[in-house]
């Protein structure tokens, strides 16, 4: 009997070792990124570490992924959630859906700690800023003859000349629109001032799109004169499609911290940590910059030609905590003003 128990224990120990090895061999990733970037990150991770990265879900809708993570929380399928701004990750952390992890790469690479969750639940690995775009032909024909400069500030969008000529987006369906709202509150110094801006802007809005970048094709096609979008997406589409638009980063603009986080109960916890470390590497930063024109948090990664350096942008004075905890309340207030 003793021999049998000893043999059983040895067998269980062996199985445990093999199970751990199998567990650490692959990291399962949910990616709120474009397909090309997600797949190239997975391939580069394999090359850098020898570990596999399975992109189990790839969809450019961070809210959809966050909802799935919550639905699967009792039996987590994925290990890591990448993409989506810090609000989505903060919401998951507050609900108990994430594990704490601070990558040693932050200190090693001297990455600005302001791009990291102070509570340790999410890791910022790229940045994006909101921009204004306008149709060159429509400006030359309809606005320039009035002696007006091209739109270059948030307040310019309130000018009556742009009545029914602004393409905006809906905070209920896209994070970019919510961060645009936050930018008005933070730059103007109060909720009341920020929502007064939204109240004045609404009559000039021709359409609220579901996505943050819905304005780009509409303005390029001349359906409207001006709009706002993510700067990296606007620049990418302008350059690749030779679009007849001008991209402007206004003073006190809104921005996002694109994050990666480890799910609570991640089946492959060790591999998940390695993947977060990898997101902060020069290789991952280059892939993201090349494909998405997104700004890496590392200072040693070059951006594509024509993209202004992030440190030259003039950002609104940001309050990450306020932006995260007021999501539902501010969205509701926006909806009451616009009727959307």
Q: What is the pLDDT of residues 79-117, one digit of tens each?
A: 999 999 999 999 999 999 999 999 999 999 999 999 999
Residue 99 lies in a domain: yes
> How far is Cα 300 from Cα 307, in angstroms, rounded to an integer?
15
Domain interval for residue 244: 129-253+322-338
Contacts of 261 (CB under 8 A, 6+ apart): 80, 81, 89, 92, 93, 98, 99, 101, 121, 122, 123, 276
Are residues 62 and 124 both part of a single domain? yes
> How far is Cα 93 from Cα 302, in angstroms, rounded to an integer?
32
- pLDDT score, position 60: 83
Backbone angles phi, psi at 274, to 5 degrees: -65, -35
Q: What is the pLDDT of residues 143-183, one digit of tens each?
A: 999 999 999 999 999 999 999 999 999 998 888 999 999 99
- Average pLDDT value for the chain: 92
Are residues 144 and 240 both part of a single domain? yes
CA 249 → CA 133, 150, 235, distances in Å? Answer: 9, 12, 11
Are residues 246 and 138 both part of a single domain? yes
Mean pLDDT per 10-residue interval, the chain, length 340 residues: 44 40 77 95 97 95 91 96 94 96 97 94 97 98 97 98 97 90 98 98 96 94 97 94 97 96 97 98 96 93 90 92 93 96
Residue 10 lies in a domain: no
Cα 128 vs. chain centroid, distance in angstroms? Answer: 7
- Total number of domains constituting the chain: 2
Are residues 268 and 207 both part of a single domain? no
Cβ-contact 212, 169 below 8 angstroms: yes
Neighbours of 46 (CB within 10 A): 13
Are residues 238 and 110 both part of a single domain? no
Cβ-contact 159, 139 below 8 angstroms: no
> How far is Cα 143 from Cα 156, in angstroms, rounded to an integer?
12
Residue 11 lies in a domain: no
> How far is Cα 231 from Cα 128, in angstroms, rounded to an integer?
7
Residue 171: DSSP 8-state? T
Cβ-contact 133, 248 below 8 angstroms: yes
Residue 7 lies in a domain: no
């Amino acid at each position: 009997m003793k021999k049998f128990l000893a043999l059983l224990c040895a067998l269980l120990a062996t199985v445990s070792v093999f199970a751990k090895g199998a567990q650490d061999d692959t990291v399962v990733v949910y990616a709120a990124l474009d397909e090309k970037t997600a797949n190239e990150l997975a391939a580069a991770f394999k090359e850098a570490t020898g570990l596999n990265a399975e992109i189990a879900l790839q969809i450019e809708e961070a809210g959809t992924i966050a909802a799935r993570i919550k639905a699967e929380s009792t039996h987590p399928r994925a290990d890591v959630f990448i993409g989506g701004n810090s609000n989505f990750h903060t919401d998951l952390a507050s609900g108990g859906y994430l594990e704490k992890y601070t990558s040693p790469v932050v200190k090693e690479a001297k990455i600005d700690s302001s791009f990291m969750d102070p509570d340790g639940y999410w890791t910022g690995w790229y940045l994006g800023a909101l921009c204004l775009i306008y149709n060159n032909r429509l400006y030359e024909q309809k606005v320039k003859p009035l002696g007006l400069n091209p739109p270059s500030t948030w307040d310019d969008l309130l000018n009556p000349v742009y009545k029914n000529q602004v393409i905006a987006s809906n905070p209920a369906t896209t994070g970019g629109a919510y961060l645009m709202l936050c930018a008005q509150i933070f730059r103007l110094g109060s909720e009341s001032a920020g929502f007064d801006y939204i109240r004045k802007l609404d009559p000039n809005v021709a359409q609220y799109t579901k996505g943050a970048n819905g304005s780009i094709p509409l303005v390029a096609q001349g359906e409207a004169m001006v709009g706002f979008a993510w700067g990296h997406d606007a620049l990418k589409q302008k350059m690749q499609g030779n679009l007849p638009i001008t991209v402007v980063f206004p003073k006190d603009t809104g921005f996002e911290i694109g994050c990666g986080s480890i799910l609570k109960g991640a089946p492959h916890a060790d591999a998940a940590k390695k993947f977060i470390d990898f997101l902060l590497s020069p290789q991952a930063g280059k892939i993201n910059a090349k494909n998405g024109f997104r700004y890496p948090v590392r200072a040693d990664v070059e951006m594509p030609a024509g993209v202004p350096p992030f440190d030259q942008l003039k950002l609104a004075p940001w309050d990450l905590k306020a932006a995260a905890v007021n999501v539902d309340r501010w969205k509701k207030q926006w909806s009451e003003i616009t009727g959307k």
